[in-house]
């Protein structure tokens, strides 16, 4: 099924065409959108355009409504058989009702593996900047968002048939890493038994030792500017201490390929990434070693990047440094420091060129903390100026910073432990998994629970899925640009707009289908009669359009809202329309088929969000 077959989309398109046909020039600015009807007896949708159009045309609204109805049903728009003859109500509303057969045919059309979602045939791929951890640092709650939102946006694009490249732009190069290495080596730390906690401490100590401007540095750390911004800040200090000198020497050795340094550096990455993949796997993301393309992988291109900007006269000298200036902002973008060092921005220029040109992407999406907005604005504009965002076939790649808000604690301040430290992401995830397991185990104790008698290992697997769903859904279901309060009690509830609620709805559907068992005739025709049945059917038909809209707008929340709607509409349907107890086998089988389609949509939707869907709960 494609959008043209989706009857709701067809009626929507026809409404626009009918308003244009009746209004001509006057149709501009008139809202031709369909509104869901307030009451089932009014039909499925209302078209309210007649009033606005009448005003502009200086005609009577009900007369315009008559014309609109005629235009809608004109053979050219092909709605015969899709909707019943429109009814005119009140001052000129048009009440529209889909024909039950059209609903049944459309449902049958989407009832296959694709669930109506046709793959988008595009010659280019999409790159998503995900995760972006910094080597030698623990993943904290900020990385939850770049990892979860990034992976889900990637899944949305995959689901609509696009080729997707996840890119993990690790902070694995530069002065902060060299400082950490120097600190570890000078303290003769055993690299074989090194763990991430030790590394993290070394990282912090090294930074503290080398810091000049304590206040500025503290602010930079608090603002998650990233290690490079922080290092940049430090090096601006005139009074570079001995520690800094040592760190810079360490960097030179690392850069020149000193074997000891390189071995130690690789070990640092290995220790960090082991932890990162533990979290990524627990979170059920598809972020893997193939996604790694850290800052270090662009190190040999930086001089050439800068040269290219200089040759194009886009970079100019400024007090010994090189900067790119923009007409519409005072702040220039620094791409080479006075001492010849490159910057976070320089690396991002090289990475962006690679993503568009080598990975062949017509869209590059950076799922990174909203506070890096200015940075990406500069990087994107510089790339556009120099032409790196244009593909060889002339297509202009869309560059997007999907900036996310901060995760807050109950006090509405950035989430911290009681001692003021960042929460380790793994600790947060573990807390959620424990809560999930507890909830699942309590339920399983009830004799009638579908999970009753399952072995502890299976209950633990379900509990893990529930805990992770709680965290991911809470992160995905809001507007990603906004901050949100991390409240595990709310997130993990089995009622309300939560991940576990959706999982529970899915598991109920699975149980129902299991009970239906062999008697279910999979090919029974859909029969959409009761109002609750209609509402569920109409919603399910929106699945393909919702998926496409969610992917194109980068709003996983749209899919969340849709699935929550499906779960609640299903509940109403199930309380109003008996399924297995229905005598008439035609109706029973039709309803079982509707239940199955609902289950499949929920399962597929949860899968696209990257949320597990256990069959029992
Ligand atoms: N490592 C960076 C930080 O912690 C995030 C990387 C984001 N991606 C990028 N291409 N700059 O701030």
Would you give the DSSP letter of residue 173? Answer: S
- 92/176 same-domain check: no
Token code pair at residue 234: 């430090």
Token code pair at residue 400: 């997007």
Q: What is the pLDDT of residue 202?
A: 86
58 part of a folded domain: yes
342 part of a folded domain: no
- In tens, the pLDDT along 371-416 reads 999 999 999 999 999 999 999 999 999 999 999 999 999 999 999 8
Residue 146 Cα, ligand 1 centroid: separation in angstroms? Answer: 9
For residue 168 and ligand 1, the question of a CB distance below 6 A is answered with: no
- 8/94 same-domain check: yes
70 part of a folded domain: yes
pTM of this structure: 0.91
Q: What is the pLDDT of residue 435?
A: 97
- What is the domain count for the chain? 2
Which of 226, 256, 286 is the C-terminal boundary of a domain? Answer: 256
Residue 529 Cα, ligand 1 centroid: separation in angstroms? Answer: 53
12 part of a folded domain: yes
C-beta of residue 296 within 8 angstroms of C-beta of residue 262: no
For residue 497 and ligand 1, the question of a CB distance below 6 A is answered with: no
| Residue in 282, 270, 269 with CA at minimum distance from that of residue 144 | 282
Q: Mean pLDDT throughout 20-30?
A: 94
By residue range, what is the domain housing residue 62? Answer: 3-98
Block residue for tokens 């989407």: 110
Ligand 1 atom closest to Cα of residue 348: 10
Residue 35 has φ and ψ, to the nearest 5°, of -110, 135
In whole numbers, what is the pLDDT of the chain averaged over residues? 92
177 part of a folded domain: yes
- In tens, the pLDDT along 572-583 reads 999 999 999 999
8 part of a folded domain: yes
* Distance separating alpha carbons of residues 591 and 585, to the nearest angstrom: 10
- In tens, the pLDDT along 450-490 reads 999 999 999 999 999 999 999 999 999 999 999 999 999 99
Q: What is the pLDDT of residue 483?
A: 96
CATH, residue 23: 3.30.1360.70
The CB density around residue 190, as the number of other CB atoms within 10 Å, is: 8
Q: Does the structure show a pLDDT above 90 at 542?
A: yes
Lowest mean pLDDT among 274-278, 520-524, 528-532, 585-589: 520-524
Which of 98, 123, 150 is the C-terminal boundary of a domain? Answer: 98
The more confidently predicted of residues 244 and 409 is 409
* Distance separating alpha carbons of residues 557 and 476, to the nearest angstrom: 6
369 part of a folded domain: no
For residue 174 and ligand 1, the question of a CB distance below 6 A is answered with: no
For residue 348 and ligand 1, the question of a CB distance below 6 A is answered with: yes
Lowest mean pLDDT among 113-122, 220-229, 459-468, 552-561: 220-229
In the chain, what percentage of residues exceed pLDDT 90? 80
Token code pair at residue 126: 């999409």
Q: Which residues pair with 316 in a beta bridge?
A: 323
Q: What is the pLDDT of residue 5?
A: 67
Best residue among 132, 136, 168 to mutate for probing ligand 1, ranked by most atoms within 8 Å of CB: 132
CA atoms within 13 A on the CB side of 167: 27
Lowest mean pLDDT among 219-223, 261-265, 453-457: 219-223
21 part of a folded domain: yes
Largest CA distance in the chain: 89
For residue 401 and ligand 1, the question of a CB distance below 6 A is answered with: no
Which of 45, 65, 98 is the C-terminal boundary of a domain? Answer: 98
Q: What is the pLDDT of residue 100?
A: 87
Q: Which residues pair with 36 in a beta bridge?
A: 45
Residue 132 Cα, ligand 1 centroid: separation in angstroms? Answer: 5
The more confidently predicted of residues 2 and 151 is 151
Q: Mean pLDDT throughout 94-104?
A: 92
Q: Does the structure show a pLDDT above 50 at 138?
A: yes
Token code pair at residue 83: 């909707």
Would you give the DSSP letter of residue 226? Answer: -
Q: Mean pLDDT throughout 354-363?
A: 98
């Amino acid at each position: 099924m494609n959008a043209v077959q989706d009857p709701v989309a067809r009626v929507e398109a026809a409404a626009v065409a009918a308003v244009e046909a009746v209004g001509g020039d006057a149709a501009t600015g008139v809202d031709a959108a369909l509104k869901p009807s307030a009451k089932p007896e009014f039909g499925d949708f209302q078209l309210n355009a007649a009033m606005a159009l009448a005003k502009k045309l200086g005609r009577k609204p009900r007369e315009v409504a008559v014309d609109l109805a005629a235009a809608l049903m004109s053979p050219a728009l092909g709605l015969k058989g899709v909707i019943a003859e429109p009814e005119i109500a009140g001052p000129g509303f048009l009440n529209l009702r889909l024909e039950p057969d059209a609903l049944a045919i459309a449902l049958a059309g989407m009832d296959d593996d694709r669930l109506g979602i046709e793959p988008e045939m595009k010659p280019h791929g999409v790159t998503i900047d995900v995760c972006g951890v910094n080597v030698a640092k623990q993943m904290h709650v900020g990385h939850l968002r770049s990892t979860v939102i990034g992976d889900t946006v990637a899944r949305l694009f995959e689901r609509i048939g696009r080729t997707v490249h996840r890119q993990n732009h690790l902070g694995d190069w530069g002065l902060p890493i060299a400082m950490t290495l120097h600190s570890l080596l000078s303290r003769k730390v055993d690299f074989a038994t090194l763990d991430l906690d030790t590394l993290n401490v070394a990282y912090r100590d090294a930074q503290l030792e080398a810091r000049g401007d304590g206040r500025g540095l503290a602010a930079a750390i608090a603002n998650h500017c990233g290690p490079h911004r922080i290092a940049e800040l430090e090096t601006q200090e005139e009074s570079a201490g001995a520690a800094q000198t040592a760190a810079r020497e360490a960097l030179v050795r690392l850069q020149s390929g000193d074997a000891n340094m390189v071995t130690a550096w690789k070990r640092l990455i290995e220790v960090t990434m082991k932890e990162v993949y533990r979290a990524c796997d627990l979170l059920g993301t598809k972020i893997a070693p193939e996604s790694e393309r850290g800052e270090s992988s662009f190190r040999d291109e930086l001089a050439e990047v800068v040269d290219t900007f200089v040759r194009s006269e886009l970079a100019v000298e400024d007090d010994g440094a090189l900067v790119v200036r923009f007409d519409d902002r005072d702040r220039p973008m620094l791409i080479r420091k006075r001492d010849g060092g490159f910057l976070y921005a320089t690396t991002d220029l090289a990475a962006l060129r690679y993503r568009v040109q080598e990975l062949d992407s017509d869209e590059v999406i950076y799922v990174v903390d909203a506070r890096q907005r200015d940075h990406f604005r500069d990087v994107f504009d510089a790339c556009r100026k120099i032409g790196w965002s244009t593909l060889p076939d002339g297509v202009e790649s869309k560059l997007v910073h999907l900036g996310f808000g901060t995760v807050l604690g109950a006090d509405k301040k950035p989430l911290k432990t009681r001692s003021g430290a960042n929460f380790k992401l793994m600790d947060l995830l573990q807390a959620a998994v424990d809560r999930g397991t507890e909830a699942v185990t309590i339920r399983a104790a009830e004799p009638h629970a579908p999970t009753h008698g399952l072995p502890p290992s299976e209950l633990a697997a379900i509990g893990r899925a529930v805990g992770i769903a709680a965290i991911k859904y809470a992160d995905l279901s809001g507007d990603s640009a906004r901050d949100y309060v991390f409240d595990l009690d709310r997130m993990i509830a089995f009622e309300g707009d939560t991940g576990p609620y959706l999982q529970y709805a899915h598991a109920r559907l699975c149980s129902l289908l299991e009970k239906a068992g062999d008697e279910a005739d999979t090919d029974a025709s859909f029969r959409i009669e009761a109002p609750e049945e209609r509402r569920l059917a109409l919603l399910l038909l929106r699945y393909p359009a919702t998926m496409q809209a969610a992917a194109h707008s980068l709003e996983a929340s749209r899919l969340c809202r849709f699935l929550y709607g499906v779960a609640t509409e299903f509940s109403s349907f199930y309380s109003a329309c008996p399924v297995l107890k229905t005598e008439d086998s035609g109706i029973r089988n039709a309803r079982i088929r509707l239940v199955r389609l609902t289950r499949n949509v929920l399962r597929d939707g949860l899968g696209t969000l990257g949320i597990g869907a256990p069959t029992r709960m």
